[in-house]
A and B are shown apart, each in its own frame.
Chain A
Amino acid sequence: MTQILTLEKRTALTGIGFVTPTVLIIALILIYPIIQSIVLSFGQSSIDGFEPYRFVGLDHYSKLMGDSRFWNALGVTFTFTALSIPLELMFGIGLALLMNETFKFKGWARLAVLFPWALPTALNTLIWRWMYNSDYGLFNAVALQSGLVERPINFLGDDVLAMVAMVVVAVWKTSSFMALIILAGLQSIPRDLFEAGRIDGMNRWTEFTQITLPLLKGPILVALIIRSMDALRTFELPFNLTDGGPAAATESLSLYAYKVIFDFLDFNFGAAIVVVQFLVIFTMSLVYVFALRNKD
């Protein structure tokens, strides 16, 4: 019996068919909007379509270059990322090492590590906002009552402290996620290596630096990539914690873009900001992918 379509051809057709729904959705929701944002950023139009689209070239971009608020947002975003990532990494590794040991209440420990990740960032941020409250917050209460300070600290009202506060919330929430990824890497290190190391005379510190850390390079890199992408896009954290304040000290790029688009209703200028943000992240992801390539 001969077939009109060979197994090979049918495989290819099935493959295309199976992949199509996903490709369609991704094209619709992810790819097309980016392209459209780029187009928007090169022009001027109104949201209700009363004025037709006018091509204005790089007008918005040059405006962007001279916009101090933009540069502030960029700086805020980078500062936030640069501060939170190393801390998250450190705590993540520490947590992972901890979780790798066997002990009785492992279930609770695992839950403790998972809960922060599972919380909606937006709501989590509200909780912290309440704890940071300068009049009634938990932190000030503890600080005052233990005699650490004499007057309540205005965490969210001071530009430096607000950034610190934001970083703390981020680190609290995502160290656990880092820990999980690194834990996976930890668990793939064969036990024999540690035993050989012990025979060779390693103590816990040398064990860590000579065996664990080098073999964790891969997972650490993966965790770094994911987290820094997220940090550069941070939105709901400043939105709910400080609304970008005080005086835009915590206004991330995403937040600024959002305000331009939905508060000022300037879609085109907002699109320019958004495209710049996209380019920054895209470049960073390329850098990372490159670094990953060379690792293997």
Chain B
Amino acid sequence: MKSSPRFGLYFLVLLTVVISFFPIIWLILTSFKNTAGIYAWPIQYWPDPFTFENYISIFNNSPELLRYILNSFIVGVGCTAITLMCGGIAAYALSRLRLRFAGVMMVGILAVSMFPPVSLLPSLFQNFLNFGLLNTYTGLILAHAGLFLPFSVWMLASYFATLPVEIEEAAKMDGMGFVRIFLTIILPLSWPGFVATGLIVFIFSWNEFPLALVLMTQNAMRTAPVGISLYPGEYAFPWETISTATVLAIIPVLIITAIFQKQIVGGLTAGAGK
């Protein structure tokens, strides 16, 4: 390998990294400027003064922020739990139990995953309203589970397919029932798949917008992306608050992505083997 292609390669890599990170960096820098600094002209590239005042005052300015983040967490964890549990056994049944309707059902699940969330809105809103599920954790968790179960089933099914059949057959001959096989063999052997799927579903749920917007109308119940998006009033865009709140709101997702990047990439690329 000559040295100049290498140089070109590194340049491209650097370019990619810069382009990918600059909005987030700009966001973080903005959050450390004071009001004057944000609206300064000519523009301040580096905060001067570099101040934490936004972070200190954010909880006075918008006390609900913490609540928003908490809501996102609860909904995310709840949705992930249900999706993994229901999706896990469904994926096992469809990929391992040689059921006659398995093929049709998998295609069906794939088909419904293409439904646009907005199409679901009128009906979901009405139904949730009538059944008292509006502005409840249960309601949004259920809605998110519905959205992400197809993905979860497909992902987990593809993980299960990599497990050798013979171990399950040996277990059957030893006398294990299906539930036991699932819990003591499938689960331990495929937990990386569960981890990857769970992480991705959590991120999906955190980032979800249309359903979260419509199904949580009370301010106190809103999830982070929705709550922050509704900060802007009629004319004013409180960028100090928005930028600070956004930084805080995306920290969980970014941390998860940074720590588990290998698993997430693995999961997403495996899912490409549809």
Contacts and interface: CB of A to CB of B under 8 A. Distances in A.
B153 A22 contact: yes
Interface string B33-70: 00000111111000000000000000000000000000
A124 interface: yes
B23 A124 contact: yes
B242 interface: yes
Nearest to A118: B257
B118 A257 contact: yes
B273 to A, nearest CB: 7
28 contacts: A14-B179, A22-B86, A29-B147, A32-B123, A34-B115, A34-B120, A36-B122, A95-B16, A105-B13, A109-B13, A112-B16, A113-B16, A113-B20, A115-B254, A119-B250, A121-B225, A123-B250, A126-B242, A127-B246, A185-B272, A239-B209, A254-B210, A257-B119, A258-B210, A261-B121, A261-B125, A274-B121, A277-B119
A184 B269 contact: yes
Contact of A103 (B10, B112, B250): B10
B123 A33 contact: yes
Interface string A36-54: 1100100000010000000
Interface in A60-85: none
A120 B20 contact: no
A11 interface: yes
Interface residues of A, number: 91
Interface of B: 6, 9-10, 12-13, 16-17, 19-21, 23-24, 26-27, 30, 38-43, 82, 85-87, 89-90, 92-94, 97-99, 102, 105, 109, 111-112, 114-127, 129, 142-143, 145-147, 149-150, 153, 172, 178-179, 203, 206-207, 209-210, 214, 224-226, 228-229, 237, 239, 242-243, 246, 249-250, 253-254, 256-258, 261, 264-265, 268-270, 272-274
A235 B16 contact: no
Contacts of A183: 269
Interface string A121-137: 11110111011000110
Given A126-B228, A285-B114, A115 B24 contact: yes
Interface string A86-126: 00000000010010010101011111111110111111101
Contacts of B121: 257-258, 261, 274
Given A112-B20, A115-B24, A236-B229, 8 more contacts: A15-B99, A122-B207, A130-B243, A136-B41, A235-B210, A239-B209, A274-B121, A285-B111
A278 B16 contact: no
A33 B246 contact: no
Which label, helix, strand, loop or mixed, suits the secondary structure of the A interface? helix
Contacts of B214: 258, 262
Contact of A180 (B10, B111, B210, B268): B268
B4 to A, nearest CB: 13
A131 B38 CA distance: 11
Contact of B257 (A101, A115, A278): A115
B249 A267 contact: no
A105 B10 CA distance: 9
A196 interface: no
Nearest to B145: A25
Contact of B26 (A23, A127, A222, A254): A127
Nearest to A268: B122
Given A18-B93, A116-B20, A183-B269, A254 B118 contact: yes
A118 B201 CA distance: 11
Contacts of B115: 30, 34, 278, 281
Interface of A: 7, 10-12, 14-16, 18-19, 21-23, 25-26, 28-34, 36-37, 40, 47, 95, 98, 101, 103, 105, 107-116, 118-124, 126-128, 130-131, 135-136, 138, 141, 145, 172, 176-177, 180-181, 183-185, 187, 219, 222-223, 229, 232-233, 235-236, 239-240, 254, 257-258, 261-262, 267, 270-271, 274-275, 277-278, 281-282, 285
Given A36-B123, A130-B243, A267-B126, A120 B253 contact: yes
B94 A267 contact: no
A266 to B, nearest CB: 10
Contact of A19 (B42, B43, B105, B253): B105
A240 B209 CA distance: 11
B38 A103 contact: no
Contact of A127 (B27, B109, B261): B27
A235 B117 contact: yes
B44 to A, nearest CB: 9
Contact of A235 (B85, B118, B224, B249): B118
Given A98-B13, A115-B24, A14 B117 contact: no
Given A118-B257, A126-B228, A180 B265 contact: yes
A30 B112 contact: yes
A260 to B, nearest CB: 9
A121 B203 CA distance: 11
